[in-house]
Copies of this chain bind each other. A is one copy, B any other.
Amino acid sequence: MKSNMKTIRSIPQMQKLARAMTAQNMTIALVPTMGFLHDGHLSLIRRARKLADVVVTSVFVNPIQFGPKDDFKAYPRNEKKDIKAIASAGGDIVFVPRAELVYPVDFQTFVTVEKITATLEGEFRPTHFIGVTTVVAKLFNVVRPDLAVFGMKDYQQVMVIQQMISDLNYPIKLIVAPTVREKDGLAMSSRNSYFTPRQRPKAICLYAALKQARAMVLRDGVDKPAVLKRKMTQVILSICPTAQIDYIAFTDFDSLQPVKRITRNTICSLAVRVHGVRLIDNMKLS
């Protein structure tokens, strides 16, 4: 099977192509990724495929969204495999810019979303979201998509990008696709590749805790975040005694504000280090 997919490495070339496609009144969907694609990413591409004339998938491990202690250097990469996978999922264009052209020596412009980046991931990774919003603003300007597809696993990221789109008036519709999970419930993530086969089963502790919380809400009518949090902590540590919990948070699904009582609109998010690998996950409690 031959693919007509284009791989573009030049920013001006991508800009020209985007301009030409818009001038032909074609709609463009952008799927921004950091590569090392899994089925979660591919579900985003398939979703984009249904919604736009052209699907552009960017593959770029964005250095500025990693903190100094984060895993930028170790982050897994496999460009050849990624390009094949994107083609098979129906991608039209893969945009793979080079880091030194994305961030030239004199780079000094940043996009900052303030309030909603102060909690959860933003609290534990203080420069993370500035890196995310800056690179996504750049990708938006280069690719000029009509819609952009992000995954629900990075729930706070979705909220932050939506805030940026609204505040900066990007004429872009944000599409959020559900988290894709492994058979045992682990949310797919490129970082799952860090686990040894012995460690890997422990990684389900996040999903197990979320399921437990949801069951307690739906079955037993528990509505106190503190009660759920205590039980979730027990579940996590019973599966992985060495796990380090960064946070377990109960927030309003639309505003990301912490809630005092669980409602049908509450989402539970958590971040846990399992054998040194930082995992995040979330679930609506209804």
Contacts and interface: CB of A to CB of B under 8 A. Distances in A.
Contacts of A144: 144, 171
Query: How many interface residues does chain A have, given as a range?
Result: 35 or more
B171 A141 contact: yes
A22 interface: yes
B19 A109 contact: no
Nearest to A133: B109
A5 interface: no
Copies assembled: 2
B133 A164 contact: no
Nearest to A170: B141
B163 A108 contact: yes
Contacts of A168: 109, 111, 134, 137-138, 141
Given A111-B112, A111-B168, A137-B137, 5 more contacts: A15-B169, A23-B23, A23-B25, A134-B168, A138-B168
Q: Which 5 A-B pairs have the closest CB atoms?
A: A109-B167, A108-B114, A23-B25, A15-B171, A141-B169
10 contacts: A19-B22, A22-B23, A23-B25, A106-B163, A108-B114, A109-B163, A110-B112, A137-B137, A141-B169, A144-B171
